[in-house]
Amino acid sequence: MITIRGLKKEYPNITPLRNVNAEISKGDVISVIGPSGTGKSTLLRCINRLETPTSGDILIDGENVCDKKADLSRLRRKMGMVFQSFNLFGHMSIIENLMCAPMDLLGKSKTQAYERGMELLQTVGLAAKADSFPDELSGGQKQRVAIARALAMEPEILLFDEPTSALDPTMVGEVLSVIKRLADDGMTMLIVTHEMNFAKNVSNRVFYMDEGIIYEDGTPQQIFENPQNEKTRIFIKQLKVLSEIINQKNFDFPAINSRLEVFGRRQMMSQKQIYRMQLVFEEVVLQKLIHKGSIGEIRMDIEHSEREGSVNMIFEYNGEKYDLLGDEEELAVITLKGIAESIEYKYEGKKNHLILSI
Footprint of Mg ion on this chain (CB under 5 A)? 41
Alpha helices in 124-204 (DSSP H): 139-152, 169-184, 196-202
What's the CA gap between 297 and 281, in Å, rounded?
15
Stretch touching ligand ADP by CB under 6 A, among 34-42, 74-82, 136-144, 198-206 = 34-42
Site for ligand ADP in 38-57 (CB under 6 A): 38-42
Told to check if 79 binds another protein by CB under 8 A, we report yes
Closest CA to 162 of 209, 125, 130: 209
Told to check if 212 binds another protein by CB under 8 A, we report no
- The entry of Mg ion, another protein, ligand ADP, none near residue 105 (CB within 5 to 8 angstroms by kind) is another protein
What's the CA gap between 328 and 312, in Å, rounded?
22
Site for another protein in 324-343 (CB under 8 A): none
On whether the CB atoms of residues 178 and 124 are closer than 8 A, the answer is yes
Told to check if 160 binds another protein by CB under 8 A, we report no
Query: Hey, how many other C-beta atoms are within 10 angstroms of the C-beta on 197?
Result: 10
Told to check if 253 binds another protein by CB under 8 A, we report no
Told to check if 93 binds another protein by CB under 8 A, we report yes
On whether the CB atoms of residues 20 and 66 are closer than 8 A, the answer is no
Q: Closest separation between CB of residue 236 and Mg ion, Å?
A: 19
On whether the CB atoms of residues 158 and 80 are closer than 8 A, the answer is yes
Residues 43-62, mask of contacts with another protein (x by CB under 8 A): -----x-x------------
Told to check if 11 binds ligand ADP by CB under 6 A, we report yes
Stretch touching another protein by CB under 8 A, among 14-22, 149-157, 291-299, 311-319 = 149-157
Distance of alpha carbon 4 from the chain centroid: 20
The SS3 of residue 65 is coil
353 sits in the region (left: phi over 0; alpha: psi -120 to 50; else beta) called beta
Q: Which residues bind ligand ADP (CB under 6 A)?
A: 11, 14, 16, 36-42
Contact residues: another protein, CB under 8 A: 48, 50, 73-74, 76-77, 79-81, 83, 85-93, 96, 100-101, 104-105, 131, 133, 146, 149-150, 153
